[in-house]
Structure 1
Amino acid sequence: MPFFKVMKMSAGVLGAALVVPMAGHAQTPAPAAAAASTGPTYADLATFSEASELVIRAQIRRQTALKPERAPGLAPGFARLYVEAQTIALIAGRSSVGGTLAYLVDVPLDAKGKVPKLKKQDFVLFARSVPGRAGQVQLVSPTAQLAYTPELEARLRPILTELYAAEGPPPRITGISDALAVSGTLTGESETQIFLATENRSPVSITVLRRPGQQVQWGVSWGEIIDSSARPPQPETLRWYRLACSLPAQLPSNANLAREADERRLAATDYAFVRQAIGPCERRITEG
């Protein structure tokens, strides 16, 4: 089971651990904190969290804007900052982190085209350690710094719990291997099996059952055994994220193993039904 507790930082080093602090160190939310309707989506947070070796809560102590010639690839309307910060807590990590940090981050200019002043504000950093450079971290994305709020921490906690679970996170889905629809003996009765390709070759399959006079049932089996009683993944879980953000919009024709035209159409229809039920992979600050 993951280890949860409040861990505030001193000037020392915190060893590798999973630490998901409760909402301590109260402060007024940073002005940059966005409402849920405009802030990071679940997919954004899962993408950042999965790419990170360290998820850190830090308070900015000093910022220095780099000159444009020292900021290659900087997007228009942004400034690149060299930031020095104090570590408040290691929220999750696979390596140690010091009490002070330095890193680069791209931040949007304010309405007047000025660099925002971030000193004394708390942020969540999604980062990796820099080999051979103690006290320096590298963000997993130029913009992988989010204004800290208790609400953001609460949204991150279940994602990190799944990522750091002893059994490991669900496998990444890379595509669809095969799909086969078979009609039953009764009119309107059918079963469709959709087998997914995964990064580590772990078996994952989707089953869609149709019965006369009943609602369509579907579920996902995460293992060797295809469970006809399997259920859809809960929204905003890593299993949901794997499906919503990895499955193609339509069933690839070459994956459809059915030979009869009616059964090929049924497989495509059932896949479209599942894809719609899962819903879109909404992103605001990351790319798929």
Structure 2
Amino acid sequence: MNLMMRSRWWSFGFRSTIMLYFIVLIILPIIGIYTQSFKLGWGPFWDSITDPLAWKAVLLTIKLSVIATVSNMLLGTMIGWVLIRYRFPGRRLLNSLVDLPFALPTAVGGLMILLLLGPNSFVGGLADKLGFQIVFHEPAIIIAMVFVTFPFVIRAVQPLLEEMDKSEEEASYTLGASKSRTFFQVIFPSMLPGILSGSMLAFSRALAEFGAVVLVAGNIPGKTLIASVYIFGEIESDNTQGAAATSVLLLTLSFIILWVVNLVQTRRAGK
């Protein structure tokens, strides 16, 4: 009886600790952001989010995040396919390097892009001779976003490819279907939930990127100033309400994305 009571108390204490952790580190900060953004009323909140610089920063962030997400959707799907379906020397090393953006500080990633593609680099100098620039312009921001979100699609697609029943693929070939038709009608539908969920997570992550982008963006208002850097500037200018209002836009969009991801995964699990 005593052991049972101890087990119940231990289980209750464990659950309480987890809930306390969740409330203190996640729920309270989210409530704080929403409270801060609306503490002066709806009018100041609306003025903050309709400020031309804020609005342009948010729109630019969304546009570049979409481009980075589409790039990762294509690259991630192909890389995930190659790493699962093919055997070649160095495959394990490449597979382990996929997670490097998760382990590497994002500021280091931005510095790498700056050194490799900056004006003083070979690639940057060649691009300058051809009449366009990479660093301190939109291409550098997209590259930084692609770098930090690189693993999402790959890691979402790989388990689906591993779990795929190869008998369906073989049956398609037996019935005379071509490789392309088999891929799009048999393989791709099985990969699609992973592609979509990984892409949406990558998009949500790209929206909030700061460390890698701030070093390569140029931060020109209305041109290369993205939302996270704009928020940082507002905090430095002691405009916490304006920073919170812009943060609420990104946070709400991220909530919607996570809800859609959860819906996709729930439907997949229910099949």
Q: TM-score, normalized by length of structure 2?
A: 0.22
Structure with greater strand percent: 1
Q: TM-score, normalized by length of structure 1?
A: 0.21
